[in-house]
Amino acid sequence: MKTDADGLVQYYATGVTVSGKQGEEDYFSCVQYHHTMGVTGQDSLTKETINADEAATVYMTYGLVRQGFQGSLVNRTIIRKSHLDHVEDFVKDLQEERHHHQELNKKQIYPGHDETYARGHHWGMHVDLNACIGCGACTVACMAENNVPVVGKREMSRHHEMAWLRIDRYFYGDVNNPSAVYQPLMCQHCNNAPCENVCPVNATNHSSEGLNQMAYNRCVGTRYCANNCPYKVRRFNWLDYNAADLWPINEPDLGLKSGSDDVPYGADNLTRMVLNPDVTVRSRGVIEKCSFCVQRIQEGKLRAKTEQRLLRDADVKTACQTACPTGAITFGDMNNEEGELTKKLASPLNYIVLEEVNTRSAVNYQARVINKAEGVDA
């Protein structure tokens, strides 16, 4: 361990060696299906240039080999990218696209979202796709900070993943030499959240500071919110991963016991010391999701109160922001005109994922701009 002049702690180890083969895995689990976005190739029949991913959207259905609709994926506001040589034209097209979406969104039947959060704190986030390297440090930090359970590969293979923040991986360009872009995706904390108005017990609601929040003891597990979320970032507790309710039938069998008394893994006091006491441990049957590290927001408010001052924008940093090695994630108050977040939100390269569906997301992404030879990137 080493501490530099700025007070940053660096952890490192010497004498590390790579061991030989330790065993074999019978199978692996992967829930990453976001492989391509605008990868082009040649149709084997018509010899036309097509989007390879969209051509395989529906494969071998009702005897049809290719049924994918061209434009069904690339026209959605998910990934936006450009080459540095064409960035001026790209910015113009992006602004026109966003203006079109915003004009349509103004015709909504529930107006007034922007005015509601124009005063006070309005928490938001900015993600720079040019800086993200897909290392996954933000995902690990989020799980450690918010007591998100590690469910194991069996549950992952059943689509029971629990991570609040995932890294979506897309490939674009030529099918033989594609480029990659990584997109961290968490709860977007939409001001017009489609998950809130379908909850029958009002377990998910919006705070006065723009946070989409969860009341875990009110949730009855209908999963309507997860079904209505266009970003698919809500997670359901299928089992009692943290032994929160101590019903043995609800606890997953991880093949691990904590001692001679057959205490379930995660139920003994020593193991539970790894949990963050500032975050609720969820039980089986409830939905959970990214909270923008609301416990850190409250900690920043209490610190400002004890110091008898106003809450500063830099007082609050989410776990994913602090763990990101490239500074791709910026969290802050969107109403603070002097904050770092506001400066990044002013970039003309910013866009909102699925802005056309009018969720009024509080997370902005900066479009990916590549700078390499045109011949290398098709």
Residue-wise pLDDT tens digits, 98-118: 999 999 988 887 777 778 888
Over 90: is that where the pLDDT of 239 sits? no
Over 70: is that where the pLDDT of 46 sits? yes
Q: Using an 8 Å Cβ cutoff, are 361 and 210 in contact?
A: no
At 370, give phi and psi (nearest 5°). -100, 150
Q: Distance between CA 237 and CA 256 in Å, rounded?
A: 20
Alpha helices in 146-256 (DSSP H): 153-157, 224-228
Q: Distance between CA 1 and CA 9 in Å, rounded?
A: 7
Q: Distance between CA 52 and CA 124 in Å, rounded?
A: 35
Lowest mean pLDDT among 16-20, 177-181, 195-199, 347-351: 177-181
At 138, give phi and psi (nearest 5°). -65, -40
What pLDDT is attached to residue 22? 84
Higher pLDDT, 159 or 12: 159
What pLDDT is attached to residue 59? 46
- Tell me the Ramachandran region of residue 32: left when phi exceeds 0, alpha when psi lies from -120 to 50, beta otherwise: beta
Q: Which stretches of 150-280 are assigned E, i.e. beta strand?
A: 166-174, 177-185, 204-206, 212-214, 235-236
For range 179-190, the mean pLDDT: 93
Burial 39-73 (b: 16+ CB within 10 A, else e): bbeeeeeeeeebbbbbbeeeeeeeeeebebeeeeb
Q: Distance between CA 102 and CA 358 in Å, rounded?
A: 8
CATH placement of domain 76-238+285-370: 3.30.70.20
What pLDDT is attached to residue 61? 41
Task: Read off the pLDDT band of 132 (50, 70, 90).
Answer: very high
Q: Distance between CA 69 and CA 343 in Å, rounded?
A: 39
Q: Using an 8 Å Cβ cutoff, are 280 and 298 in contact?
A: no
Give pLDDT tens digits for 316-360: 999 999 999 999 999 999 999 888 999 999 999 999 999 999 999
Looking only at Cα atoms, what is the longest distance across the chain?
72
Over 70: is that where the pLDDT of 157 sits? yes
| Average confidence score pLDDT of the chain | 84
For range 28-35, the mean pLDDT: 72
Higher pLDDT, 298 or 173: 298
What pLDDT is attached to residue 199? 95
Domain residue spans of the chain: 76-238+285-370
Residue type, 162: M
Whole-prediction pTM:
0.85
Task: Kindly state the tokens that stand for 15.
Answer: 């004498």
What pLDDT is attached to residue 171? 84
What pLDDT is attached to residue 378? 45
Over 70: is that where the pLDDT of 373 sits? yes
Task: Read off the pLDDT band of 63 (50, 70, 90).
Answer: very low
Over 70: is that where the pLDDT of 133 sits? yes
Higher pLDDT, 79 or 75: 79
Q: Distance between CA 235 and CA 226 in Å, rounded?
A: 7
Sign of the Cα torsion 329, 350, 289, 154 reads negative
What pLDDT is attached to residue 64? 43
Over 60: is that where the pLDDT of 7 sits? no
DSSP string of 112-140?
-HHHHTSSS--EEEEEETTT-----HHHH
For range 85-102, the mean pLDDT: 94
What pLDDT is attached to residue 1? 55
Burial class (CB in 10 A: 0-12, 13-18, 19+), 352: buried
Which helix (H) or strand (E) element contains residue 39? strand 36-42
For range 208-226, the mean pLDDT: 94
What pLDDT is attached to residue 295? 95
DSSP state of 110: S
Give pLDDT tens digits for 287-305: 999 999 999 999 999 999 9
